């Protein structure tokens, strides 16, 4: 029984998440996840949120992408990386991943108690258009997409890259759903002006 448990643990915690230098990327994401969970307790009271049925449009691709992003599927099917960058190359991708994660934290801190893991309207909610929200309307999603894509390319397996793409697609779908929700909840005039000035996910592109 103990041997079976050890085998399962070895399978779950293996592959690129423990193999240097890609293990550096795993440590970055684990640190981000732990800090993000702790910070989730700092949030204002929710007054309204998107229905669960609507949320499935973005949760399903994010969930599927998250599974593929881990080394489990690649190991189960014997999928090898298409390329290997070595320590210098991984350090570059680690820097890109850290840049994306730092952007999410800048947005998280700037948003303060208005932040939520789901699409919600918080108490006293208003349009935030300063700080990172002056570059893109959804900087947390922008940072996560950038970090995930950088990590997927660095890992080099088809599954990790496909997982990163699916997660990015889910983030894009979540942003589009949030756009409609915030337009209704914060006012078409107020949020509409913001949409005309600031791009949704990619900085410096024309606003959409």
Peptide bond into 128 cis (omega under 30): no
Angle between the N-to-C axes of helices 23-39 and 86-111, in degrees from 0 to 180, rounded to the nearest 10? 10
In a domain, 173, yes or no: yes
pLDDT given at position 54: 74
Q: Which residues pair with 46 in a beta bridge?
A: 122
List the one residue out of 142, 139, 147, 132 whose CA is nearest residue 28. Answer: 147
The answer to the question of residue 70 being in a domain is yes
Burial class from Cβ neighbours inside 10 Å (0-12, 13-18, 19+) for residue 189 reads: exposed
Q: What is the CATH number of the domain that holds 107?
A: 1.20.120.1630
CA 23 to chain centre: 19
Residues in contact with 106: Cβ distance below 8 Å, sequence separation at least 6, in sequence order: 131, 132, 139
In a domain, 203, yes or no: no
The answer to the question of residue 207 being in a domain is: no
Helix axes 86-111, 139-155, angle to 10 degrees: 170
* Residue 202 placed within a domain: no
CA dist 153 and 107 (Å) reads 25
- Residue showing tokens 């890992």: 155
> Taking Cα atoms as reference points, which of 203, 116, 173 lies closest to residue 165?
173
Domain count, the chain: 1
Is the residue at 98 inside a domain?
A: yes
User: Is 85 contained in some domain?
Assistant: yes
pLDDT, position 120: 67
pLDDT at residue 4, rounded to an integer? 45
Q: What beta strand segments (E) does the chain contain?
A: 46-49, 120-122
| pLDDT at residue 2, as a whole number | 43
pLDDT in tens, the chain (208 residues): 444 445 545 545 678 998 999 999 999 999 999 999 888 777 655 555 555 667 888 999 999 999 999 998 998 899 999 999 999 999 999 999 999 999 999 999 998 877 777 776 665 678 888 999 999 999 999 999 999 999 999 999 999 999 999 999 999 999 999 898 888 878 888 888 999 999 999 998 887 7
Q: What is the span of the domain harbouring residue 94?
A: 2-197
Residue 78 lies inside a defined structural domain of this protein = yes
């Amino acid at each position: 029984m103990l041997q079976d448990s050890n085998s399962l643990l070895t399978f779950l915690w293996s592959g690129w998440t423990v193999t240097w230098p890609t293990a550096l990327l795993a440590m970055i994401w684990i640190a981000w996840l732990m800090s993000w969970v702790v910070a989730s307790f700092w949030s204002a009271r929710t007054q309204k949120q998107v229905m669960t049925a609507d949320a499935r449009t973005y949760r399903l691709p994010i969930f599927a992408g998250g599974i593929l992003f881990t080394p489990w599927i690649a190991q189960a099917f014997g999928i090898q990386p298409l390329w290997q960058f070595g320590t210098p190359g991984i350090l570059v991708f680690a820097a890109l991943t850290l840049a994306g994660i730092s952007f999410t934290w800048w947005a998280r801190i700037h948003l303060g108690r208005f932040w939520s893991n789901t699409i919600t309207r918080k108490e006293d909610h208003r349009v935030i258009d300063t700080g990172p929200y002056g570059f893109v309307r959804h900087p947390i999603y922008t940072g996560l997409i950038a970090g995930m894509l950088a990590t997927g390319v660095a890992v080099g397996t088809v599954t990790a890259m496909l997982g990163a793409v699916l997660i990015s697609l889910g983030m894009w779908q979540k942003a589009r759903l949030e756009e409609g929700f915030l337009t209704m909840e914060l006012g078409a005039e107020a949020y509409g002006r913001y949409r005309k000035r600031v791009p949704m996910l990619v900085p410096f592109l024309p606003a959409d």
